[in-house]
Structure 1
Amino acid sequence: MSPLFPALAAGSTRPALQFGDQALSHAELATVAGALAARIAGAPRVAVWATPTLGTAVGVVAALLAGVPVVPVNPKTGERELTHIVTDSSPALVLAERGVELPPVLAGLARLDTDIDHVSDATGVPGEAGPAAPLPAEPSPEAPALIVYTSGTTGPPKGVVLPRRAVAATLDALEDAWQWTETDVLVHALPLFHVHGLILGILGPLRRGGSVRHLGRFGTDGVACELSSGATMLFGVPTMYHRIAEALAGDPALAKALNGARLLVSGSAALPVHDHERIAAATGRRVIERYGMTETLMNTSVRADGEPRAGTVGVPLAGVELRLVDETGAAITAYDGETVGEIQVRGPNLFTEYLNRPDATEAAFDDGWFRTGDMAIRDPDGYVRIVGRKATDLIKSGGYKIGAGEIENVLLEHPGVREAAVTGEPDEDLGERIVAWIVPAQADAPPSAEELAAHVGAQLASHKRPRTVRYLAALPRNDMGKIMKRALRG
């Protein structure tokens, strides 16, 4: 297998990473990440405290250079969820920026700092590239690259083991679909603990030999500034594009900046057609969408040279096989724009396994095809239109995929809650907002919405807090005692 990051191996002097006033060329990144890679070589796994900083990117690249699997950790994860992730993945050490205070469950691990001044101490002038040193040999394509935890609909998150060949295959397929080259400059403000922000947004530009400018925190002013000063691509989630659409009418500089971009990409959830049309009308540019999952990385995309059709996620990427199946598991062969089936995929982009969960891994596949749980139709020209989830318990909010079951479990631990159910409902800003349906223990003294949100936020990641709480005398159930969530939504 060729190097995962050819420009690092070649010592390219082109810009690679920029976070605020901190920046590294590919050659400088090779030096500082290579020095850190030498220090962690041989570790079974490392956790990275994934703040939106240059240090996080350096730490992840160092681990990948060393062939050490990376477990990105969301800094906003609650105590219970974080304890599960650390216990399940058993990292040998944690990489974090100097000065960052880690929670107790991570504080007991060996720690290495990832700020660029520190990691370059042994090889050169702080903040600059030191003497070039050969990078470690490229590991096997099947070697684990990352273990990314994804919320299930029931129980704690599962660790998705992503091999190096899946990362390379997805990024190379996107090179083809998006005509992505070393001259592209990407701007984004996504978190660095999931596929979209880390693998596509950081590792993608590095594999292409181009560069990324991370805003640290999303804002339309930052987007306009970067796109007006050389950036060519923007990655975002629907919540970000909704806020852009809202701002465009009163911000001609933003409209001009978006008009000058080569590619505007939205993902992680469906972008409402209304926002598509508002952005196109104000800027003359169309946002394109792509479709993927933690387990599969990217499956489809609207191509840069294709029709940017709102409401679709394009066609299968190079190397990806995609089929729709009916309730019996039979393949649907008609591309009629009407027949709905579950998406199943196979190809080099797929994960290897759920860590420590052979039962879940086996259940996820149908004779080599991964069961996505997403329902879709295909247009006659092969474009895919996702229409919903096979299950009702996955909520897509603000770019996150959130399992209802784990929120329900935490809500049920509150002394003021007798019964709880969690659903999603449409939200103009977030895509979907989390709604908690509560049967209080005392009908005349229910816990407040603020109290319940704080209770969930203390145990899980903050984006999993319910935004709306509705109180009922009883939850609707079927004859088997199962909560009928469709009745709640209706």
Structure 2
Amino acid sequence: MLLTSLTDPRDLERAVTVGDDVLSRAELLDRAGRLAASLPDHGPLAVHATPSIDTVVAITAAILAGVPVVPVPPDSGPAERGHVLTDSGATAWAGELPDDVDLPVVLPGSQPIAPRPVDPAATAMLLYTSGTTGRPKGAQLSGTAIAAGLDALYQVWDWTPEDTVAHGLPLFHVHGLILGVLGSLRRGSRVIHTVKPQPARYAAVDATMYFGVPTVWNRIVDEPDAARALGRARLLVSGSAPLPATLFDRIAALTGQAPVERYGMTETMITLSAHADGERRAGWVGLPVPGAETRLLPATDDATDDATDATDAGPVPDDGETIGRLQVRGPMLFDGYRGRPDADDECWAGQGWFRTGDLAVRDPDGFHRIVGRESVDLIKSGGYRVGSGEIEAVLLDHPAVSEVAVVGAPDPDLGQKIVAYVVGDGRDAQALIDHVAAQLSWHKRPREVVFLDDLPRNPMGKVQKKLLT
């Protein structure tokens, strides 16, 4: 069973805490079991994924009942929510019902049911991508994939039942839901959700592991007392976006330990990570987790490749500089997009390899650094291939820059010129160009800097670079 620790006869008081609500392991099993008794036989179950104990209970109930669960972001608009519900084929709803949703609401029964026999290869969770390049797609994650991904992290992060995980991340993404909540429930450790990822709330809880995204960590280091309080933990994990090197250093200085960076996607779980007992290097996302494999293929002008072409071309050198197209495989990968064979054909490269769409470099020790997305972040300028991500990371280290997006714009001489769109204080373009040139190769400097009040973003908050070119 995916959540093996729930049936452990040794009860764990305060197994799950969300805000002021606390459940022991037995209480969670009872509440989830009573809700599971009312679930449809096949589902899927759509869950209004608010940061609440009710969300944890509903998702646990679906897993116990062997019903696929669809976490629905609570801030979804009617159009996005309608697409997710229609595409997923959801047959019931758990949580507060929005006016535009026409599904029966499940209510707990009087008696809990025992966990049902579940096919571990069946879809346990249907997570929808952010829709950066179109309408959100439903990534089908089996119980086997989720278990494999979590079990790998237990090894990499030395995660034990004695740990307490704290975070305030959304309960509809891999990071907050699968790692933060399901990871704790499967391992038998405690989890504390702070409802909001605020520095004071992180500092107020006593945990051994804290999960956050760069925005959260930036806010924490801006409140030094809160940051120092986290020094009692044994592991600080950052993911979901690149962590600027200066922020990495500030976290280390205030807490006494460097953060662990990791890499993953909705479709792949976590495939790369620094180790709890190993090197932690600013800007690098570490080594493949147990069971995962990676390969970097040449970043050619052809946007498509197949297994044969990849084999013929061979991998790029592990020199820490040459950019390649990152592909991964392993037991933690998803089973494809629901109802989207066209998207499946695009993302699978044969023999189990998944095209992440990300660009990366790998050094001789096997450490990986992500340099951007292939579709928008590979800039071909003056015969060089440049990843915009590394330029963005350097610019974010400048005190006058709060947000930045780097793109390639058509240029008659260079093919593409590097353009940085910057949000922040000041308007000294040359200072920013010189800042990059001082830290990276000369050809990676921006040829133009454009100052904006805001960067264009989609409803999930991701920058839409295509609107900048």
TM-score normalised by L of structure 2: 0.78
Q: In the alignment, what sits opposite 1:278?
A: 250
Q: Tell me the alpha carbon deviations over residues 208-236 of structure 1, each in whole angstroms, 9 at most, x when there is no partner.
A: 0011111111211111111xx3x111000
Q: Is the 8 A contact 1:33 1:58 kept in 2?
A: yes
- Check 1:212–1:49 CA distance in 2 against 1; reply closer, same or farther (3 A cut): same
Q: In the alignment, what sits opposite 1:379?
A: 363
Equivalent pairs, count: 393
Q: In the alignment, what sits opposite 1:219?
A: 198
Q: In the alignment, what sits opposite 1:30?
A: 29
- Any idea what SS the aligned residue of 2:375 has? coil
- Any idea what SS the aligned residue of 2:165 has? strand
The structure 2 residue matched to 1:181, chosen from 146, 152, 160, is 160
Are 2:331 and 1:352 equivalent residues in the alignment?
no
Are 2:262 and 1:290 equivalent residues in the alignment?
yes
Q: In the alignment, what sits opposite 1:204?
A: 183
- Check 1:392–1:319 CA distance in 2 against 1; reply closer, same or farther (3 A cut): same
Q: Is the 8 A contact 1:49 1:56 kept in 2?
A: yes
Q: In the alignment, what sits opposite 1:410?
A: none
CA distance in 2, matches of 1:30, 1:287: 34
Q: In the alignment, what sits opposite 1:12?
A: 10
C-alpha RMSD of matched pairs (Å): 2.8
- Check 1:162–1:393 CA distance in 2 against 1; reply closer, same or farther (3 A cut): farther
Q: In the alignment, what sits opposite 2:291?
A: 319
CA distance in 1, matches of 2:238, 2:159: 16
- Check 1:381–1:42 CA distance in 2 against 1; reply closer, same or farther (3 A cut): same
What is the identity, as a one-letter code, of the residue corresponding to 1:353? G
Cα deviation, residue 380, structure 1:
1.1
- Check 1:133–1:147 CA distance in 2 against 1; reply closer, same or farther (3 A cut): closer
What is the identity, as a one-letter code, of the residue corresponding to 1:272? P
Identity of aligned pairs, percent? 47
What is the identity, as a one-letter code, of the residue corresponding to 1:55? D
- Check 1:465–1:80 CA distance in 2 against 1; reply closer, same or farther (3 A cut): farther
What is the identity, as a one-letter code, of the residue corresponding to 1:247? E
Structure possessing the higher relative contact order (Cα contacts under 8 Å, 6 or more residues apart): 1
Cα deviation, residue 427, structure 1:
6.2
Gaps of 5+ in 1: 114-118, 124-131, 398-403, 405-422, 430-448, 467-483
Are 2:72 and 1:69 equivalent residues in the alignment?
no
TM-score normalised by L of structure 1: 0.75
CA distance in 1, matches of 2:98, 2:274: 40
What is the identity, as a one-letter code, of the residue corresponding to 1:102? P
Q: Is the 8 A contact 2:316 2:323 kept in 1?
A: no
The structure 2 residue matched to 1:237, chosen from 200, 203, 213, is 213
Are 2:172 and 1:193 equivalent residues in the alignment?
yes
Farther off after superposition, 3-12 or 369-378: 3-12
Q: In the alignment, what sits opposite 2:46?
A: 47
Are 2:122 and 1:122 equivalent residues in the alignment?
no
Farther off after superposition, 269-278 or 329-338: 329-338
- Any idea what SS the aligned residue of 1:371 has? strand
Q: How does 1:361-380 map to 2 (within 5 A)?
A: 361-367=344-350, 368-380=352-364
- Check 1:379–1:25 CA distance in 2 against 1; reply closer, same or farther (3 A cut): same
- Check 1:205–1:426 CA distance in 2 against 1; reply closer, same or farther (3 A cut): farther
Cα deviation, residue 331, structure 1:
3.3
- Any idea what SS the aligned residue of 1:313 has? coil
- Check 1:64–1:166 CA distance in 2 against 1; reply closer, same or farther (3 A cut): same
- Any idea what SS the aligned residue of 1:392 has? helix
- Check 1:18–1:391 CA distance in 2 against 1; reply closer, same or farther (3 A cut): same
Cα deviation, residue 10, structure 1:
1.8
- Any idea what SS the aligned residue of 1:373 has? strand
Q: Tell me the alpha carbon deviations over residues 396-442 of structure 1, each in whole angstroms, 9 at most, x when there is no partner.
A: 99xxxxxx9xxxxxxxxxxxxxxxxxx9956689xxxxxxxxxxxxx
Cα deviation, residue 333, structure 1:
5.3
Cα deviation, residue 245, structure 1:
1.7
CA distance in 2, matches of 1:265, 1:276: 11
Q: In the alignment, what sits opposite 2:305?
A: none
Q: Is the 8 A contact 2:2 2:186 kept in 1?
A: yes
Are 2:376 and 1:392 equivalent residues in the alignment?
yes
CA distance in 2, matches of 1:176, 1:154: 34
What is the identity, as a one-letter code, of the residue corresponding to 2:323? V
Gaps of 5+ in 2: 301-308, 379-387, 393-404, 406-418, 426-452
The structure 2 residue matched to 1:112, chosen from 97, 106, 115, is 106
CA distance in 2, matches of 1:357, 1:122: 39
CA distance in 1, matches of 2:423, 2:169: 20
- Any idea what SS the aligned residue of 1:111 has? coil
CA distance in 2, matches of 1:462, 1:280: 29
CA distance in 2, matches of 1:427, 1:144: 42
Q: Is the 8 A contact 1:258 1:285 kept in 2?
A: no
Q: Is the 8 A contact 1:162 1:351 kept in 2?
A: yes
- Check 1:31–1:331 CA distance in 2 against 1; reply closer, same or farther (3 A cut): farther
CA distance in 1, matches of 2:26, 2:161: 14
The structure 1 residue matched to 2:315, chosen from 332, 339, 351, is 332
Cα deviation, residue 135, structure 1:
2.3
CA distance in 1, matches of 2:15, 2:194: 14
Farther off after superposition, 11-20 or 42-51: 11-20
What is the identity, as a one-letter code, of the residue corresponding to 1:356? G
CA distance in 1, matches of 2:173, 2:42: 22
Q: Tell me the alpha carbon deviations over residues 435-462 of structure 1, each in whole angstroms, 9 at most, x when there is no partner.
A: xxxxxxxxxxxxxx99x99xx9xxx737
What is the identity, as a one-letter code, of the residue corresponding to 2:216? M
- Check 1:427–1:260 CA distance in 2 against 1; reply closer, same or farther (3 A cut): farther
Cα deviation, residue 164, structure 1:
0.8
- Check 1:424–1:59 CA distance in 2 against 1; reply closer, same or farther (3 A cut): farther
- Any idea what SS the aligned residue of 1:213 has? strand
